[in-house]
Structure 1
Amino acid sequence: MGGMATAAASCPVRTKLLLCAALGFALGVVATASLLVSSSASSYTAPLQGLFLPPSAAAANAVQGRQQPPASTRPPQQPEQGPAEPAMVRPAQLSEPPPVGISASASPPPPAAGASRGGGNSSIGVDADDEELMARAASAPREVPAGAASKVAFLFLVRGDLPMAPLWEKFFHGHRGRYSVYLHTDPAFNGSEPSETSAFYRRRIPSKEVKWGHVSMVEAERRLLAHALLDDHYNARFVLLSESHVPLFDFPTVHSYLVNSTQVYLESYDQPGATGRGRYKRRMSPVVTADQWRKGSQWFDLDRPLAADVVADRVYFPVFRRFCRRNCYADEHYLPTFLNIRRPSAGANRSLTWVDWSRGGPHPARFTRMEVTVDFLRWLRGGTTCTYNGRTTDVCFLFARKFLPNSLTRFLRFAPKVMGFG
């Protein structure tokens, strides 16, 4: 009995020891297995470690390396943006030397802000964008400064070279300070710049493409007016000319005729038929009505107040630009209609440019070298009568067109004898 009791008492102790050993063995196996699994899977579980335990430095770097490139190689972030806008073209500096060929060259840098305006050597420091240009020109003085000598602005709307430039050089020669010259050419024109003694030296303004019979013709005219208004506050009269124009009188006669006139010279008449009222577009109403519609030659002479009104026009021109298309010919109708609406009594209802429409067709007659004679020039100068400042005169046309380049030699020969210059 005593031995059995002793054995029974020792059983629980052995059982406990066995249980502890088994538990320790099981814990060792689990720990070893855990270490093996952790070691083999560490490269795949790194992203998950951060959710539970702080990752090691190496794991953190591995995560960063997969998310973004190092700062040294990462391109800088740039904001989202639409298509790039075209760079603004700035006008060339305009200087005024007096009077050989005309062309364009690279534009010099724009003048500093606040550049002088109103003198012969002034510059236009504005962007060539038409809207901004018109707004700036609309705020220019509308009158020549009191006591100042008035100047005539000669606005040449040309494609490229000016074939009659040698004749114009002789016309301008010796009259510095009494005229300004501005040229609107095809933007693709890249001829050479004339000499510094030329009346056309650096007189080209920023230009845009012009199409015959298109509203772009009027846009070019307004662009010329705007530059002339801004460039020189002494510009009192503004004459539009082409590459085929020639002067019929000497400069003093032309200057006096223009600056002393009480009217502007722009045709504005009501013409029935397809080439007059037939071009009116009903969608222009009610801003421009059929009763207000007028026609006339595009070759004008305007005074400074009317030129300022034209560049400031945000009522009628937008309507012409939108609706005067397809057989409308805005260059023959915009200014005549505008004058009829705004200042009907200011116009002489005639042009200072002689052209020959007697042969019919959409374009006037062209004249070659052999057709330029002394008798012909004398007839152009005094073969008709008209009214000037309320009096009858035979000096009605100061200019004529369309003369081909081969006629230049005849004009240079006859100008001293017939026209009083050269």
Structure 2
Amino acid sequence: MPVKRSASVAALPPAGRRARARLCLRLAAPLSFLLLLATLLRAQPSAPPATAAAPPFEGPAKAAFLFIVRAGVPLDFLWDAFFRNGEEGKFSVYVHSAPGFQLDSATTGSPYFYGRQLARSVKVAWGEATMVEAERMLFAAALQDPANQRFVLLSDSCVPLYNFSYIYTYLMASPKSFVDSFTDKTEKRYNPNMSPAIRKDKWRKGSQMVVTKTLLGQKPNAKKASREEHDCIPDEHYVQTLFSIKGLEDELERRTLTYTSWDQSSDPKDKMTWHPKKFEYDTSSPEHVSAIKSIDHVNYEMESRTEWCQCNGTSVPCFLFARKFSNSAAMHLLEQGVVGLVKAAG
């Protein structure tokens, strides 16, 4: 997801592989805690006293954009144009950055990011449980605003493929959450020692997501790498497995809204097998962008399932966002007017 992947597991020394294997076991404890929390929440009376009810919000529902970045927001110029073409009061911005990093006029060119870093953050490393912790911090912060009704997780290389109005309407039209969640029968990340807290038939994998507030209240092809031990990447399993265990998959559109083009290396030992391709200026032309926008279904070979992309029963393009875009590629999108006309700061 948001943090660049390191070399393949096969390149790690034995001690490193064992440490990565233990990550799967560490998933069981936080998952069990959240399951207990979700159970307690559901056990509350259906009609609590007025004093215990969540405060109502006035005005339009908001889409909360949740960024996980290393420090600054490298594509802030594109997101600035996106938000500038949006409607004030219909979105909010939250950024998880390195501890102590401040977003201000010295570190970002977009006022939409000023002071939007979380007050508390952790140092995030790819493949570590800190990625899950960062996501939880972002959700917790965004839930403080009762107007936030949709929550979009984004990495520092993500870009919007449409203007704000289109994306907002798309998100709000569906009562379901968009969570990429599937069973990969060819991979070996499941560790039997996680049972019974996490049964193998409930183990799921996925990528970036858009979640509804209702679901939070309840609490494309990645190639298999050659390895001898269980290699667990927490953020690709945590939320998906939690929803599976709680029987909430009927409340999901089981697909991601973020397009990724994975490296097609034929060598399974090639470390690049695990990396999404980076879009550069010459691979982000109008033709390339149109090709992504024209995708209307996703094939999940591991489940023999084809997911036709719909929003509240209506056929729609599958992807609203894409990654992994370089600065020059994002600038190309800006020049094309993908997110709308470039407006001067008012």
Q: If the length of structure 1 is used for normalisation, what is the TM-score?
A: 0.58
| Match for residue 206 of structure 2 among 290, 296, 309 | 296
Cα distance, 1:142 vs. partner?
Answer: 9.1
Report the counterpart of residue 170 of structure 1 in structure 2: 81
1:288-311 Cα offsets, whole Å, 9 max, x none, are 1111111111x110011222345x
| Match for residue 414 of structure 1 among 326, 330, 336 | 336
Report the counterpart of residue 326 of structure 2 in structure 1: 404
Letter of the structure 2 residue corresponding to residue 210 of structure 1:
V
Cα distance, 1:359 vs. partner?
Answer: 2.1
Output the CA distance in 1 between the equivalents of 2:54 and 2:171.
15
Letter of the structure 1 residue corresponding to residue 182 of structure 2:
Y
Cα distance, 1:145 vs. partner?
Answer: 3.2
DSSP 3-state at the match of 2:98: coil
The answer to whether the 8 A contact 2:190-2:230 is kept is: no
1:1-34 Cα offsets, whole Å, 9 max, x none, are xxxxxxxxxxxxxxxxxxxxxxxxxxxxxxxxxx
Output the CA distance in 2 between the equivalents of 1:270 and 1:144.
38
Output the CA distance in 2 between the equivalents of 1:214 and 1:282.
20
DSSP 3-state at the match of 1:237: strand
The answer to whether the 8 A contact 1:142-1:308 is kept is: no
Cα distance, 1:195 vs. partner?
Answer: 7.6
DSSP 3-state at the match of 1:181: strand
Aligned residue runs from structure 1 range 58-137, under 5 A? none
Distance 1:338 1:355, change over 3 A: same
Distance 1:142 1:355, change over 3 A: farther
1:209 aligns with 2:123: yes
1:132-163 Cα offsets, whole Å, 9 max, x none, are xxx9xx89x99783764100000000101212
Larger radius of gyration: 1
DSSP 3-state at the match of 2:256: coil
The answer to whether the 8 A contact 2:103-2:117 is kept is: no
Report the counterpart of residue 306 of structure 1 in structure 2: 215
The answer to whether the 8 A contact 1:301-1:352 is kept is: yes
Q: Which has the higher contact order (CA 8 A, sep 6+)?
A: 2
Letter of the structure 1 residue corresponding to residue 130 of structure 2:
S
Report the counterpart of residue 336 of structure 1 in structure 2: 240
The answer to whether the 8 A contact 1:353-1:398 is kept is: yes
Output the CA distance in 2 between the equivalents of 1:398 and 1:207.
27
Aligned residue runs from structure 1 range 35-46, under 5 A? none
1:167-187 Cα offsets, whole Å, 9 max, x none, are 111111152110000000121
Report the counterpart of residue 227 of structure 1 in structure 2: 141
Structure (1 or 2) with the greater strand fraction: 2
Report the counterpart of residue 280 of structure 1 in structure 2: 190
Root-mean-square deviation (CA, aligned residues, Å) is: 2.6
DSSP 3-state at the match of 2:152: strand
Letter of the structure 2 residue corresponding to residue 356 of structure 1:
S
Output the CA distance in 1 between the equivalents of 2:287 and 2:116.
34
DSSP 3-state at the match of 1:279: coil
Which of 152-161 and 265-274 deviates more? Answer: 265-274
Letter of the structure 2 residue corresponding to residue 368 of structure 1:
E
The answer to whether the 8 A contact 1:144-1:150 is kept is: no
DSSP 3-state at the match of 1:252: helix
Report the counterpart of residue 218 of structure 1 in structure 2: 132
The answer to whether the 8 A contact 1:143-1:305 is kept is: no
Cα distance, 1:190 vs. partner?
Answer: 5.4
Letter of the structure 2 residue corresponding to residue 402 of structure 1:
K
Q: Structure 1: any 5+ residue segments left out of the alignment? A: 1-130, 311-324
Output the CA distance in 2 between the equivalents of 1:263 and 1:163.
31
Report the counterpart of residue 164 of structure 2 in structure 1: 251
The answer to whether the 8 A contact 1:144-1:234 is kept is: no
Aligned residue runs from structure 1 range 172-191, under 5 A? 172-173=83-84, 174-187=86-99, 189=101
Distance 1:390 1:144, change over 3 A: farther
Output the CA distance in 1 between the equivalents of 2:58 and 2:109.
30
Structure (1 or 2) with the greater helix fraction: 1
The answer to whether the 8 A contact 2:99-2:121 is kept is: yes
| Match for residue 231 of structure 2 among 321, 327, 335 | 327
1:175-233 Cα offsets, whole Å, 9 max, x none, are 21100000001215456546897111110002111110111111110110000001x11
Output the CA distance in 2 between the equivalents of 1:191 and 1:359.
37
Report the counterpart of residue 284 of structure 2 in structure 1: 372
Letter of the structure 1 residue corresponding to residue 123 of structure 2:
E
Output the CA distance in 1 between the equivalents of 2:175 and 2:136.
22
Letter of the structure 1 residue corresponding to residue 114 of structure 2:
Y
1:335-360 Cα offsets, whole Å, 9 max, x none, are 11112122110111100000001525
Output the CA distance in 1 between the equivalents of 2:132 and 2:323.
19
Output the CA distance in 1 between the equivalents of 2:151 and 2:294.
23
DSSP 3-state at the match of 2:253: coil
Report the counterpart of residue 18 of structure 1 in structure 2: none
